[in-house]
Structure 1
Amino acid sequence: MYKEKELWDRFLGGDEVAYAQILKQYSDRMFGYGCRMCSDEDLVKDCIQEIFLTLWNNKANLSSTDSITWYLLKCTKTSIIREQKKWLKNEELADEYFFDVEFDIETKIIADLDNLKVADKIKSIINQLPPRQKEILYLRFYENFTLTEIAKLMDISSQSVYNLLQKAYKNFRAEWLPLVAVLFKFLSV
């Protein structure tokens, strides 16, 4: 298995095996991210297919990257937004778009505490957050992106990412405090 930069550079050099590995290794992640932005799975699949076709056809003109994940998620987001605009020619796309997220921590809490109500509450809290805040939490904690990478991916400033992340934390904490009390009560039994 190659490191991301080496894998990408091999692909840029025309290595079909590296291209196939990138497709295999990253397409599911792109699909998962795309489906969080757009509920039309067929549109997401078409976008991903077009991305990989474009990548192969334009590999000679592409730059090196240290993060294939970041690059491909950025391509996914850009492609979905562009395609949605084509499909909705006369409709204006809202700045606050759909973004659905389900964090693995929910599953861990269910397994650790065997308490579905707690996991449902966490999911409910997350789903009450505005779409951009959910997206930032997803990118920060699921994809492990830096604030700078998130800013570039979302086409906003690093300060805006920081501000939205702080708002998400604040919103989550406001709803979380009553849940923590329930957890302590549950754990002390």
Structure 2
Amino acid sequence: MSNDNNRLIRPDDSALWDLFRAGDEAAYTQLMKMYSKTLFNYGFRICQDKDFLKDCIQDVFLELWNRRLKISSTPAVKYYLFKALRLRIFREQAKWNRGEQLDDNYEFVVEFNIETKMIADLETIELSTRIQQVLNALPNRQREIMYLRFYEGLDFDNISQIMDLSKQSVHNLLQKAYKSFRSEWLILITLFSKHII
């Protein structure tokens, strides 16, 4: 099993999932506690209407409980929940307070924890801020893919299913994001090197 899948699959998740599917309310409650914050963090990057987002998360869990006998077993609970939330947000977009239309031009806000995720050895706020600016300059889908791949540890198959894209499209968008990020990264490193010398 790859490291990506190890980050995606926690041993207790699939066991809890199966208990929940069998009607165990304690397992269901535990899953909600484990994933509500993670789902909110992901959903907030798509829609910044907090009340709407909380409703979507609640609806996802309510629907899961109501359909528990029809839901299949899964080793990747996080992926399953991300996909369910993303579908719910897009399906319920007419209820957004701001009345925005959500399509391919939706805003995906990235607030990576730069210090722990990308530059653990560099403890400078200026460089972290500049890197975050580079990430946020990427097109929305590229930002979302970068978030799902590197922050949430999802693999190409999971990302393609969550975002309803082909695996090749995910790969192509990620390569474009890499290319953009690398060119900006070289500029940042050059500027940073001159600044600290």
Judge same fold: TM > 0.5, yes or no.
Answer: yes
Task: Pick closer, same or farther for the CA change 1:85–1:179 going to 2, 3 Å.
Answer: same
Unaligned runs of 5+ in 2: 1-9
Equivalent pair of 1:110/1:116 in contact (CA under 8 Å): no
> Which residue of the partner structure matches residue 156 of structure 1?
165
Equivalent pair of 1:27/1:48 in contact (CA under 8 Å): yes
> Which residue of the partner structure matches residue 73 of structure 1?
82
For 1:15 and 1:93, locate their aligned partners in 2 and report how far apart those are by CA, in whole Å: 36
TM-score when normalising by structure 1: 0.90
Q: Percent identity?
A: 50
Equivalent pair of 1:14/1:59 in contact (CA under 8 Å): yes
- Number of aligned positions between the proteins: 187
> Which residue of the partner structure matches residue 91 of structure 2?
82
Matched AA of 1:140 = R
> Which residue of the partner structure matches residue 3 of structure 1?
12
For 2:17 and 2:179, locate their aligned partners in 1 and report how far apart those are by CA, in whole Å: 38
For 1:42 and 1:7, locate their aligned partners in 2 and report how far apart those are by CA, in whole Å: 28
| Displacement after TM superposition at 1:111 (Å) | 7.6
| Displacement after TM superposition at 1:14 (Å) | 0.7
For 2:42 and 2:91, locate their aligned partners in 1 and report how far apart those are by CA, in whole Å: 16
Task: Pick closer, same or farther for the CA change 1:8–1:173 going to 2, 3 Å.
Answer: same
Q: Which has the higher helix share?
A: 1
Q: Which has the higher contact order (CA 8 A, sep 6+)?
A: 2
Identify which range, 42-51 or 104-113, moves more after superposition: 104-113
Equivalent pair of 1:136/1:161 in contact (CA under 8 Å): yes
Unaligned runs of 5+ in 1: none
Alignment map for 1:136-155 (pairs within 5 Å): 136-155=145-164
| Displacement after TM superposition at 1:115 (Å) | 2.3
> Which residue of the partner structure matches residue 3 of structure 2?
none
Matched AA of 2:179 = K
Equivalent pair of 1:5/1:64 in contact (CA under 8 Å): yes
Instruction: Tell whether 2:57 aligns with 1:54.
Output: no
For 2:148 and 2:40, locate their aligned partners in 1 and report how far apart those are by CA, in whole Å: 14
For 1:113 and 1:106, locate their aligned partners in 2 and report how far apart those are by CA, in whole Å: 7
> Which residue of the partner structure matches residue 125 of structure 1?
134
For 2:117 and 2:195, locate their aligned partners in 1 and report how far apart those are by CA, in whole Å: 16
| Displacement after TM superposition at 1:116 (Å) | 1.9
> Which residue of the partner structure matches residue 104 of structure 1?
113
> Which residue of the partner structure matches residue 172 of structure 1?
181
Identify which range, 131-140 or 49-58, moves more after superposition: 49-58
TM-score when normalising by structure 2: 0.86
Equivalent pair of 2:93/2:101 in contact (CA under 8 Å): no
